[in-house]
Amino acid sequence: MTKGAAAIRFRTLFVLAAACLFAALPAAGQKISERDLPQQYRDWLNLVAYHIQPIEKDVFLQLANNRDRDVFIETFWKQRDPTPGTPENEYKDEILKRFQYVNQFFGRGTTREGWRTDMGHFYMVLGPPASTEHFEATIGLVPCLSWSFYGDSRRGLPPQFYLLFYQRGGIGEYKLYDPVSDGPTRLLLNQRDIEDAFNYSALYEKIRDLSPTLAEIAITRIPGEYNYDFSPSPRNNILLADILDSPKKDVNPSYATHFLNYKGIVTTEYLTNYVDSYALTALIQDPVTGLRFLHFSIVPTDVNVDYYDPKSQFYCNFQVTVSLRDGEKIIFQYNREFPLYFPEDAWNRVKASGLAVEDSFPIAEGKHHLNILLTNTVGKQFSLLEQDVTVPAASAAPSIDGLVLGYKFEKYQRDVHIPFKVNDQKLVVDPKKTFSRTDTVAVFFNVLNTTEGLRTDGEVRIAVRGLREANPVRKSYTVRLDAYPSSRILSIPQSIPAGELDPDYYEISVTLAGAGGEILDEKKDTFVVSQAAAVGHPIANAKGIPLANQFLFRYMLAQQYEKENRSEAAKPLYEEAYRLNPEYKEGVVMYGNFLNKSGSFEDALRIAEELRKDDRRQFAFQGIRGQALLGQQKYEEALAALLEANKIYNSETSVLNSLGKCYLKMARKTEALAALEASLKLDPSQGEIKKLIEELKK
């Protein structure tokens, strides 16, 4: 980033390169049995048995080779490293140290390895106790010992608790004592003298006579927490579950599933550096182009940067790969790069507030799965945004569109499209939607399909409601639609001072009311007003595209409809995109291929002529022309054009398939078979071509 660190950067070039990155995300593999793993990986699973989350282990057992397993293990430890900026990993060192200790000391007197014993289990989970008390030579009691621990409230543990281990019947391995299922009678050597095993008061007194400090531990793991009759509290078992779960609470296991899905797509050096992120998406109809755009802002929680000494600047480079899916089919994808530079004096703000990468693209109506892969090529990190998106069908009814919250508005030139901007208003967003009382809650929305009557007499009611139970703040605002120029799409910005709101969680509703006060539509969102004096917002980074190039948006949208086999929706978009800029040759190629697929062969031939004198696109020219002539049953002319295309590039399946079909129509079976087999070799998944080849061979 240049001097203005908070400024949004413009780039006018929009990269339409189709990334193969998401072409085939690997599905989860078959799980290997743990006993079938090489010994070093079985040993590792033993080492982390009490710390690995079920989903992590599940992913590990689906990995098919040792290289992936080694990288996963490295990632596992890195996710738990308390000081990731140093070469040491104190967490890993501690687990190895505990494992060595328990196997050396707790396996004695038992046929099991030390880590598998009860004492070994809890030592691996909790580490060494704060203190240990032995009751191994007390007359009348079985040998037992207690461990005292100080609990971590962040993990749901009480300030102090005990674990008691004992030898059942006075012999054998030390087992964990349970005040509920075992009961104090298990700690007494002469149990025949006990009249009532459930008379906890009497048992408490009996054990206290033998060992005062053991009496309370015999009925509770939590000091002072037992019932009036000295019966154990049910919380004893809840505590045990919290203890066993405690080492698994610090790690978000999503990295493991991402590892499985992206190994082979994201390079190995990135896989060990998955970074959580938070994000915001919004569907907004653009009043200039009339198209609906999906806008997104994604903020990784950690950013590694490098330093450029000659200019005293920090820098990193983000690559964004966007994939839009309809089921398993990719209907749209693109890549963009965001190289960022910022001066030394901006580094503290970057560290405190983060960097947001923003972008937007037109989106077809329907249900889609959005997948955004954000990689930092300098820091070798990656983050993901995955979300289901539903774009409703266009309606003629008045409605609220694109309710989005930010923390300020900025004026921008009208003739450039950038994320979260409509007309000349740029909404500056923070995906966390958290505001200090010195901030502004910036509210943006459109009113669609306004009629003259609605604009004259209609209004929008904005209600803000605090969610606390006692005396919640309530604010309301009214926006008259006649305050805006007549338009089918009214874009409305509204600013609400956060200082008018107490710290709390809030719901905001935007309601469209007709001339008679009837409710036509309503949208809602939530936000937070913090108690903090100031809230840091991420520095936004985006690229723009001049609205003079809006033909690109129509091509993008047309491709989506085409991939979904919705030719009736794709055709007018292709026509409009071509009309807006007939000199855009990549668009001419897309349009010509679409016309052939939709059976408009005469139009395809006409469009192909735009490429005749373009030396760089002779393959596309001959391919479109040949397929159109084939569709018109002009086989000799089609064959000549297709052979010319194949001379230029002989590894394109659509040309080879057309050649095969053309030869077949000309009764040249041997040549048809050769062309089709060459195509199938390039792409074995072509079921139709495979079937055709089988028929030809009969």
Tokens, residue 460: 């929008």
Do 552 and 530 share a domain, yes or no?
A: no
State residue 572's pLDDT score.
97
Helix, strand, or coil here: 347? helix
pLDDT single digits (tens) 374-422: 999 998 899 999 999 999 999 999 999 999 999 999 999 999 999 999 9
User: Judging by DSSP bridges, how do beta strands 355-362 and 539-541 pair with one another?
Assistant: parallel
The pLDDT of residue 13? 34
Distance CA 400, CA 426 (A): 19
Q: How far apart are CA 578 and CA 573, in angstroms?
A: 8
- Residue of 12, 7, 11 whose CA lies nearest to 428: 7
| Assigned domain for 105 exists | no
Q: How confident is the model at residue 109 (pLDDT cuts 50, 70, 90)?
A: confident
The answer to the question of residue 446 being in a domain is yes
Does the structure show a pLDDT above 70 at 64?
Answer: yes
Summarize pLDDT for 412-450 with one digit per residue, the tens.
Answer: 999 999 999 999 999 999 999 999 999 999 999 999 999
Give the CATH number for residue 15.
Answer: 2.60.40.10
CA–CA separation, 303 vs 336, rounded Å? 18
Average pLDDT over residues 193-220: 88
Residue 85 domain-assigned (yes or no): no
Confidence of residue 312 (pLDDT cuts 50, 70, 90): confident
Q: How far is CA 55 from CA 26, 42, 52, in A?
A: 17, 17, 8
Q: What is the mean pLDDT of residues 105-128?
A: 94
Q: Are residues 214 and 279 in the same domain?
A: no
pLDDT at 496: 97
What band does 3 get if pLDDT is binned at 50, 70 and 90? Answer: very low
Residues 692 and 553 in one domain: yes
Is 262 within the bounds of a domain?
no
Least confident of 10-19, 298-307, 533-542: 10-19
687 lies in the same domain as 574? yes
Question: 366, 394, 422: which is the final residue of a domain?
Answer: 394
> Which pLDDT belongs to residue 14?
36
Q: Name the domain boundary from 211, 233, 255.
A: 233
- Same structural domain, 569 and 681: yes
Candidates 447, 506, 508; CA nearest to 482 is 447
- Residue predicted with more confidence, 110 or 283: 283
pLDDT per position as a tens digit, 498-519: 999 999 999 999 999 998 899 9
pLDDT reported for residue 15:
36
Picking from 159-173, 558-572, 636-650, which range would have the lowest pLDDT averaged per residue?
A: 159-173
Q: How far apart are CA 239 and CA 161, in angstroms?
A: 9
Residue 64: count of CB within 10 angstroms of its CB: 12
Residue 29, pLDDT score: 57
Domain end call among 361, 394, 427: 394
Structural domains of the chain, count: 4
In the three-class reduction of DSSP (H, G, I as helix; E, B as strand; rest coil), residue 183 is classed as: coil
- 293 & 360 share domain: yes
CATH code where residue 553 lies: 1.25.40.10
Q: Please name which of 133, 110, 306, 280 lies closest in space to residue 218, comparing C-alpha atoms.
A: 133
The CATH number of residue 426's host domain is: 2.60.40.2550
Q: Is 604 domain-assigned?
A: yes
Annotate 163-180 with b (16+ C-beta within 10 A) or e (fewer): bbbbbeeeeebbbebebe
pLDDT computed for residue 311 by the predictor: 78
- Residue 474 in domain: yes
Residues 417 and 500 in one domain: yes
Query: For residue 17, what pLDDT is reported?
Result: 35
pLDDT, residue 250, reads: 78
CA angle 310, 316, 317 (to 5 degrees): 125
Same domain (yes/no): 374, 458: no
* C-alpha 63 chain-centroid distance: 21
Q: Mean pLDDT across the chain, nearest whole number?
A: 91
Tokens of 147: 């461990």
What's the token pair of residue 47?
A: 């080492």
Task: Report pLDDT for 550.
Answer: 95
Give me the pLDDT at residue 28, please.
46
Average pLDDT for 567-582: 97
Is 293 part of a structural domain of the chain?
Answer: yes
Over the stretch 350-362, which tens digit does the pLDDT of each residue have? 888 999 999 999 9
Judge whether 550 and 417 are in contact, CB under 8 Å: yes
Domain-embedded: residue 635: yes
- Give how far Cα 51 sits from Cα of 44, 90, 696, Å: 11, 15, 59
How does strand 539-541 pair with strand 545-546?
unpaired
Cα 208 from Cα 119, distance rounded (Å)? 25
Say if residue 458 is in the same domain as residue 501.
Answer: yes
Residue 686 and residue 583 in one domain: yes
pLDDT digits 0-9 by tens, 467-502: 999 999 999 999 999 999 989 999 999 999 999 999
> What confidence score (pLDDT) does residue 252 get?
83
Tell me the pLDDT band of 254, cut-offs 50, 70 and 90. confident
Domain that holds residue 371: 1-25+270-394
Q: Please indicate, yes or no, whether residues 277 and 292 belong to a single structural domain of this protein.
A: yes
Residue recorded with tokens 């738990």: 80
Nearest CA among 315, 299, 304 for reference residue 269: 304
- The pTM of this model reads 0.78
Residues 520 and 580 in one domain: no
Task: Find the radius of gyration of the CA atoms of the chain.
Answer: 34
